[in-house]
């Protein structure tokens, strides 16, 4: 037989056309869009700068005067110079404990590289209430630990905490997703073979003292303390007749020389961090996942233009492909079923060279010739079926999924119900819920109701979920929700025998709208850790690339099964 020569197969590359013309960019509408988006970004930057300072500049300066590194400087010195830090939960706790003088959940969490390896870093911020745990502090640490378990990331804990914040202890202490769960996870993480290193660099008291000792390595700096009961509490409990100092009870030298609890004692913060890096440098290599990756290419179009593409009016439509073209490699999207189920854009692209499957809401009105037009941002039945099949294909091909939200929800009405929208929507939710490849989510605009669920919202285990400052987040839109809430409030007042005038109704409606609108803002959701971060369009590509790279630390992906699908 003649020898068959192999032929090179050129995979078709579908670059998204550039629809942003010079005329469009110089139009008043474009300028208004850019100005509105920029104002939201500036507001975010101001909040971000305040949160990065923790307890404030004075508190940071006190640390430096005491010869200590402030919390963020500890993290900066721990990670490889110049490497990015993928922070989780910066907004956590914002505005939730103002009456206690707690500006945010006082712990820094995020993924950074140490000797080229991804680590989840958890660093208490003792510039806020001595690092004492408020409710969101515990939940933020738990989120970090879950991310570490999902992605098999080693952990470093930089411990500097006074334990539980007592005025809020009933919200911190007892439940399955509270403070105690941190230790449960710590024990299970070690048992699963994921390394953990703990450095006590300040206070580590009461129940919190168990965390370092559950880790593989325990370091302490001179002047730090680790004890179940401080000197005053030990005296009050009448456990001793003599006077003891905290250092005599649980100082670094005590745990190095008497209890045998500390593996290493370091004189300074800098020496402690250098020791952690030394331990990491000796770790053996581990298998990584095998997602397809080629040489990365920058988008063909400027990501800065996204600020003009997103309308100032949140209810206006836009072409989602124009946004994707400014995020994905070389602006190439190999679209899946482009002529069917058009209210969702599905397709294969690359981010930083990684092969990814994209599911995004089309916000532009879809003008059909032979059937009624479709409203942008609404998921129709055919689109739900398309997305379900695409998600299954991505799992079959071992391709990570990235979801871009601007969704009002699923189509409603008699015709939609009769055509099986519940069944079709459930198919999409089932396919997405059972996905075994990593999932990542970016909320661009609205993210409402069941649409939020189907597009891999917070409850569906995205490895990283972020929102742009333009995001809005609720069970339904503000106008509809406000009307319903007003009717409920008025009905309640009438049952109490109160007369409701038109003026009262208007005042109530204005108040309801304000409260509901405030609760839809991304900062509100990020404060409650429904979001891992608020990011700008210009940051989105790099954050997603880093998150996908983080997910490669899992060397095996489970079998994909959906169970029963109603078809």
What the block records as the tokens of 187 is 């024990």
pLDDT digits (tens, 9 = 90+) for 203-225: 998 777 889 999 999 999 999 99
Instruction: Please name every residue paired with 361 in a beta bridge, in sequence order, or none if there are none.
Output: 344
3-class secondary-structure state, position 171: helix
The gap between the terminal CA atoms of the chain, to the nearest Å, is 48
What pLDDT is recorded for position 175?
A: 79
What pLDDT is recorded for position 231?
A: 64
pLDDT digits (tens, 9 = 90+) for 105-114: 999 999 999 9
Mean pLDDT over 435-460 rounds to: 95
Burial class (CB in 10 A: 0-12, 13-18, 19+), 494: exposed
* Beta-carbon contacts of residue 51 (< 8 Å; ≥ 6 apart): 90, 91, 94, 103, 104
For residues 140 and 127, what is the distance between their CA atoms, to the nearest angstrom?
Answer: 17
Cα atoms in the Cβ-side hemisphere of radius 13 Å centred on 502: 0
Is residue 119 scored above 60 in pLDDT?
Answer: yes
Dihedral Cα 50, 128, 157, 255, nearest 10 deg: 150
User: What predicted TM-score, i.e. pTM, was given to this entire model?
Assistant: 0.92
Confidence class for position 140, pLDDT limits 50, 70, 90 = very high
For residues 416 and 381, what is the distance between their CA atoms, to the nearest angstrom?
Answer: 8
pLDDT digits (tens, 9 = 90+) for 175-190: 788 888 999 999 999 9
What is residue 187's DSSP assignment?
A: H
Yes or no: say if 85 and 112 are a contact pair by the CB < 8 Å rule.
Answer: yes
Mean pLDDT over 371-398 rounds to: 95
Residue 475, φ and ψ in degrees, nearest 5:
-70, -25
What pLDDT is recorded for position 1?
A: 47
Confidence class for position 228, pLDDT limits 50, 70, 90 = confident
Instruction: Please name every residue paired with 466 in a beta bridge, in sequence order, or none if there are none.
Output: 442, 533
Q: In which residue are the tokens 């905290």 written?
A: 246
For residues 239 and 224, what is the distance between their CA atoms, to the nearest angstrom?
Answer: 22
Instruction: Please name every residue paired with 220 in a beta bridge, in sequence order, or none if there are none.
Output: 200, 265
What phi-psi label fits residue 30: left (phi over 0), alpha (psi between -120 and 50 degrees) or beta?
Answer: alpha
Is residue 376 scored above 90 in pLDDT?
Answer: yes
Q: Angle at Cα 552 formed by Cα 52 and Cα 114, nearest 5°?
A: 50
Mean pLDDT of all residues belonging to the chain: 91
Confidence class for position 8, pLDDT limits 50, 70, 90 = low
What pLDDT is recorded for position 496?
A: 79
What pLDDT is recorded for position 477?
A: 62
What pLDDT is recorded for position 327?
A: 98
pLDDT digits (tens, 9 = 90+) for 146-202: 999 999 999 999 999 988 888 888 888 877 888 889 999 999 999 999 999 999 999
pLDDT digits (tens, 9 = 90+) for 317-373: 999 999 999 999 999 999 999 999 999 999 999 999 999 999 999 999 998 888 889
Yes or no: say if 121 and 155 are a contact pair by the CB < 8 Å rule.
Answer: yes
Tell which residue, 197, 224, 232, 237, has the closest CA to residue 213: 197
Mean pLDDT over 408-422 rounds to: 92
Residue 474, φ and ψ in degrees, nearest 5:
-170, 175
What the block records as the tokens of 441 is 């989510």
Mean pLDDT over 230-248 rounds to: 70
Q: DSSP string spanning 249-286?
A: HHBHHHHHHTS---SEEESSHHHHHHHHHHHHHTPPP-
Confidence class for position 555, pLDDT limits 50, 70, 90 = confident
pLDDT digits (tens, 9 = 90+) for 39-71: 999 999 999 999 999 999 999 999 999 999 999
Is residue 380 scored above 50 in pLDDT?
Answer: yes
Yes or no: say if 360 and 390 are a contact pair by the CB < 8 Å rule.
Answer: no
For residues 438 and 440, what is the distance between their CA atoms, to the nearest angstrom?
Answer: 7
Give strand ranges (E) for 46-154: 86-88, 107-114, 117-124
3-class secondary-structure state, position 97: strand
3-class secondary-structure state, position 378: strand
pLDDT digits (tens, 9 = 90+) for 509-532: 777 777 767 788 999 999 999 999
What pLDDT is recorded for position 6?
A: 47
What is residue 161's DSSP assignment?
A: E
Lowest mean pLDDT among 125-129, 288-292, 537-541: 288-292
Neighbours of 382 (CB within 10 A): 17
């Amino acid at each position: 037989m003649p020898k068959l020569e192999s032929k090179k197969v050129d995979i078709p590359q579908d670059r998204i056309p550039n629809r942003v013309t010079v005329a469009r960019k110089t139009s008043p509408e474009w300028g208004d869009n850019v100005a509105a988006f920029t104002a939201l970004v500036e507001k975010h930057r101001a909040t971000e700068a305040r949160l990065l300072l923790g307890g404030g500049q004075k508190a940071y300066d006190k640390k430096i005067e005491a010869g200590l590194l402030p919390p963020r400087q500890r993290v900066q010195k721990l990670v490889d110079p110049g490497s990015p830090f993928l922070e989780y939960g910066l907004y956590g706790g914002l505005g939730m404990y103002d009456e206690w003088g707690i500006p945010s959940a006082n712990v820094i969490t995020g993924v950074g590289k140490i000797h080229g390896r991804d680590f989840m870093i958890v660093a208490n911020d003792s510039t806020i209430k001595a690092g004492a745990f408020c409710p969101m502090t515990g939940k933020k640490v738990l989120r970090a630990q879950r991310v570490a378990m999902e992605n098999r990331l080693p952990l470093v804990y930089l411990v500097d905490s006074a334990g539980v914040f007592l005025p809020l202890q009933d919200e911190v202490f007892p439940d399955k997703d509270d403070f105690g769960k941190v230790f449960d996870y710590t024990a299970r993480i070690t048992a699963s073979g994921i390394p953990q290193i703990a450095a006590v660099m300040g206070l580590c008291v009461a129940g919190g003292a168990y965390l370092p000792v559950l880790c593989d390595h325990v370091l302490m700096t001179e002047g730090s303390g680790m004890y179940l009961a401080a000197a005053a509490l030990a005296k009050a409990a009448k456990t001793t007749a003599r006077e003891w100092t905290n250092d005599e009870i649980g100082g670094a030298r005590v745990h190095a020389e008497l209890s045998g609890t500390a593996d290493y004692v370091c004189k300074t913060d800098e020496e402690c961090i250098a020791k952690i890096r030394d331990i990491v440098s000796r770790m053996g290599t581990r298998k990584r996942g095998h997602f397809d990756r080629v040489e990365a290419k920058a988008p063909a179009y400027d990501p800065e233009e996204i600020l003009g593409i997103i309308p100032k009016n949140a209810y206006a439509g836009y072409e989602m492909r124009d946004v994707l073209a400014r995020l994905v490699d070389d602006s190439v999207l190999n679209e899946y079923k482009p002529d069917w189920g058009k209210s969702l854009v599905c397709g294969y692209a690359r981010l930083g060279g990684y092969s990814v499957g994209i599911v995004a809401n089309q916000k532009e009105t879809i003008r059909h010739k032979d059937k009624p037009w479709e409203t942008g941002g609404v998921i129709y039945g055919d689109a739900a079926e398309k997305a379900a099949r695409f998600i299954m294909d991505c799992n079959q091909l071992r391709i990570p999924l990235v979801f871009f939200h601007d969704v009002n929800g699923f189509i409603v009405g008699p015709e939609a119900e009769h055509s099986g929208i519940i069944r079709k929507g459930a198919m999409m939710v089932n396919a997405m819920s059972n996905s075994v490849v990593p999932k990542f989510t970016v909320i661009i605009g609205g993210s409402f109701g069941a649409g939020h669920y189907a597009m891999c919202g917070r409850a569906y285990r995205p490895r990283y979920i972020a929102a742009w400052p333009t995001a809005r987040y609720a069970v339904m839109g503000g106008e509809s929700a406000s009307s319903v809430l007003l009717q409920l409030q008025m009905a309640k007042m009438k049952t109490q025998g109160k007369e409701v005038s038109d003026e009262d109704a208007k005042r109530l409606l204005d108040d309801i709208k304000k409260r509901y609108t405030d609760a839809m803002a991304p900062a509100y959701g990020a404060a409650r850790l429904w979001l891992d971060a608020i990011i700008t369009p210009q940051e989105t590509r790099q954050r997603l690339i880093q998150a996908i790279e983080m997910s490669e630390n899992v060397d095996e992906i489970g079998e994909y099964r959906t169970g029963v699908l109603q078809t």
